[in-house]
Amino acid sequence: MTTPSAALAVAAAFAACLSAAEPVPVSPSRLAKVGQVDARYQSYNVEMVEVTGGRFWAPYRTGSDAPKTPSAPGAVPGIDPSLFRMRPPIDLSQPRLRKLAAALGPSYVRISGTWANSTYFHDSDTPPPSAPPAGFGGVLTRAQWRGVVEFAKAVDAKIVTSFAISPGVRDANGVWTPDQASKLLAYTKTLDASIAAAEFFNEPSFAAMGGAPKGYDAAAYGRDFAVFRTFIRKASPNTVLLGPGAVGEGGALAGGASALAMIKSEDMLRATGHGVDAFSYHFYGAVSKRCGAFGAGSGTTPEAALSEQWLDRTDREAAFYQALRDRFEPGRSMWLTETGETACGGDPWAATFADSFRYLDQLGRLAKRGVQVVAHNTLAASDYALIEEETLAPRPNYWSALLWRRLMGDVVLDAGPTQDPKLHLYAHCMANHPGGVTLLAIVTDTGAPRTLSLPAAAAQYTLTSSKGLESPTVELNGAPLAIGADDSLPAIEGRRHTKGRMELPPASITFLVFPDASNGSCR
């Protein structure tokens, strides 16, 4: 019988053998097209509670695994209120924030989240109520929504959202009514704007935690969705209707989720029948340390950040929801409208270079699977944000996002198989350069390099961190990445690498750009 330690030794020896083996050949000119993603494939979330202000995930404190900031009850049903902190509304007009977001455009900005399910839209220029009306948990003003629209226009983002479904929007029989949704859509039109896509509400699989009436089930969802679908088709016919937008059923969170009265997507889809334009889902590979209620084994650690077991969860969850799509909405495209390092605001290491491996590997995997949009949670709030919320300093995942935006185009290529489980290869046509190809090579081995054989010269963009994987800083080709004193972005320039052998450092992420590949799929 093989012991776990013996198995690890064999795996280590196998990896060492691979790292010393012949270089892995790459042939950018001959890579076949396997798909095409939305031009706004890489997108992000700004939570509704950021826009309105309210209780959001409290930051971790130095020397503590979880926040201890006290908060009034009622932040999110079913979750310890001490995990939240009151935060003021985000200022979406900040020049640095807009500059950083614009560099990621074109994109979608999703304004949603659990708090959106019970947010009241104050459709007036008069002062808002001092407290939310009965049946609601928060208040969105015209000025705040106008700020969202102005931000989206300034950064080349299209708006995705969802609507309130709490008791405040229901008739005497408990049926959802479109009164609030119609007011928000009408006001959006007065701003010469529109809603590009919308889910009915955020994560109906956790309806009870999301503010739905007590006892809400799949049958109630089907009844309400029928009303919503009829409404949205008439009120905003060009809006892409997304759904169901569930989370946590593919294995990663399913065990702990059962204790929180999950409504299965299968039951909701059976209750609604055909009727979405694109099939949406959410994905987190685990929950952060804040949400211990999900039970032992529901979290993860920075030591697992580069493991195949962790990275492969993206594929497993996508496969689960794609199978449901094929059964109930065949032929529809897939959108991942919310994802991040872990649910519940992210772990402390979500803000470090360690999470960039998940971030970029996830984009590569899902593009190959045909997922059209991936919206990261969040742009600038909590530990999993691309941008630190107080200083607005870009985190490692922001730089990963910027490189993806600049180098990876919409056409997805087959990078070919590799026998090395610690070398992940993805390829796209170059962005804005006909015939060119970009190869993304991710080395998850922390102890040994990998070697490629290049058929031609390429521009090399290698991300590493000399201060370790759990560092909040990252280097490009050995030079630290940071914004300038005037909020300017640094020059993102590749290093020329000649034809032949190329060594990829351990624990590194490299974009290789072949502008003269002359790939026929990229013209």
pLDDT per residue as tens digits for the range 439-493: 999 999 999 999 999 999 999 999 999 999 999 999 999 999 999 989 999 999 9
Q: What distance in Å separates the CA atoms of residue 222 and residue 271, rounded to the nearest whole number?
A: 5
Extract the tokens encoding 98. Answer: 């807009």
* pLDDT of 4 higher than 70: no
Extract the tokens encoding 433. Answer: 């350069």
Q: What distance in Å separates the CA atoms of residue 443 and residue 425, rounded to the nearest whole number?
A: 9
Which range, of 12-16, 63-67, 262-266, 508-512, averages the lowest pLDDT?
63-67
By CB atoms closer than 10 A (0-12, 13-18, 19+), residue 128 is middle
* pLDDT of 260 higher than 60: no
Find the largest Cα–Cα distance for the chain: 74
Q: What distance in Å separates the CA atoms of residue 34 and residue 371, rounded to the nearest whole number?
A: 12
Residue position matching structure tokens 């950083």:
100
Which phi and psi (to 5°) does residue 334 adopt?
-110, 135
Q: Each residue of 205-221: pLDDT tens digit? A: 999 889 999 999 999 99
CB 295 within 8 A of CB 349: no
Stretch 113-120: mean pLDDT, rounded?
96
Rounded (10°) angle between helices 179-190 and 218-235: 30
Helix, strand, coil percent values for the chain (each to nearest 5) = 30, 25, 45
Q: What distance in Å separates the CA atoms of residue 230 and residue 103, rounded to the nearest whole number?
A: 37
What pLDDT is recorded for position 2?
Answer: 44
What pLDDT is recorded for position 27?
Answer: 96
Residue position matching structure tokens 């493991």:
307
User: 3-state class of 279 per DSSP?
Assistant: strand
* pLDDT of 257 higher than 70: no
Q: What distance in Å separates the CA atoms of residue 408 and residue 399, rounded to the nearest whole number?
A: 14
Q: Each residue of 384-402: pLDDT tens digit? A: 999 999 999 999 999 999 9
CATH node for 21-36+413-522: 2.60.40.1180
User: 3-state class of 138 per DSSP?
Assistant: strand
Range 90-116 burial, b when 16+ CB lie within 10 A, else e: bebeeebbbbbbebbbbbbbbbbbbbb
Q: Could you tell me the pLDDT band of residue 500, with boundaries at 50, 70 and 90? A: very high
Q: Each residue of 311-363: pLDDT tens digit? A: 999 999 999 999 999 999 999 999 999 999 999 999 999 999 999 999 999 99
Q: Could you tell me the pLDDT band of residue 298, with boundaries at 50, 70 and 90? A: confident
* pLDDT of 14 higher than 90: no
Q: Label the pairing between strands 278-284 and 333-340.
A: parallel
Mean pLDDT across the chain: 91
Nearest CA-CA partner of 321 in 197, 463, 329, 153: 329
Q: Could you tell me the pLDDT band of residue 1, with boundaries at 50, 70 and 90? A: very low
Domain regions of the chain by residue span:
21-36+413-522, 42-410
Q: Could you tell me the pLDDT band of residue 503, with boundaries at 50, 70 and 90? A: very high
What pLDDT is recorded for position 256?
Answer: 52
Nearest CA-CA partner of 135 in 111, 117, 162: 117
What pLDDT is recorded for position 209?
Answer: 87
Q: Each residue of 397-446: pLDDT tens digit? A: 999 999 999 999 999 999 988 899 999 999 999 999 999 999 999 999 99
What pLDDT is recorded for position 498?
Answer: 96
Q: Each residue of 56-65: pLDDT tens digit? A: 888 886 544 4
CB 393 within 8 A of CB 401: no
DSSP state of 93: T
Q: What distance in Å separates the CA atoms of residue 432 and residue 410, rounded to the nearest whole number?
A: 10
Q: CATH says 42-410 is which class?
A: alpha beta
Extract the tokens encoding 132. Answer: 């939310």
What pLDDT is recorded for position 253?
Answer: 64
* pLDDT of 19 higher than 50: no
Stretch 129-149: mean pLDDT, rounded?
97
Q: What distance in Å separates the CA atoms of residue 364 and residue 214, rounded to the nearest whole number?
A: 40
Nearest CA-CA partner of 359 in 408, 418, 320, 430: 408
Neighbouring C-beta atoms of residue 144, cutoff 10 Å: 21
User: 3-state class of 469 per DSSP?
Assistant: coil
Q: What distance in Å separates the CA atoms of residue 317 and residue 371, rounded to the nearest whole number?
A: 12
Query: Quick one: residue 146, left, alpha or beta (phi over 0 = left, psi -120 to 50 = alpha)?
Result: alpha
Instruction: Say if 21-36+413-522 and 42-410 have the same CATH topology.
Output: no
Which phi and psi (to 5°) does residue 131 adopt?
-140, 150
Stretch 96-101: mean pLDDT, rounded?
98
Extract the tokens encoding 52. Answer: 């309105």
Q: Label the pairing between strands 458-464 and 508-514.
A: antiparallel
Stretch 490-505: mean pLDDT, rounded?
96
* pLDDT of 74 higher than 50: no
What pLDDT is recorded for position 5?
Answer: 47
Q: Where are the alpha helices (DSSP H) in 329-449?
A: 354-369, 396-407
DSSP state of 172: T
Range 313-325 burial, b when 16+ CB lie within 10 A, else e: bbbebbebbbebb
Q: Give the pTM.
A: 0.93
What is the CB-side half-sphere exposure of residue 316 using CA atoms within 13 A? Answer: 16
Bond from prior residue into 421 cis (ω within 30 degrees of 0):
no
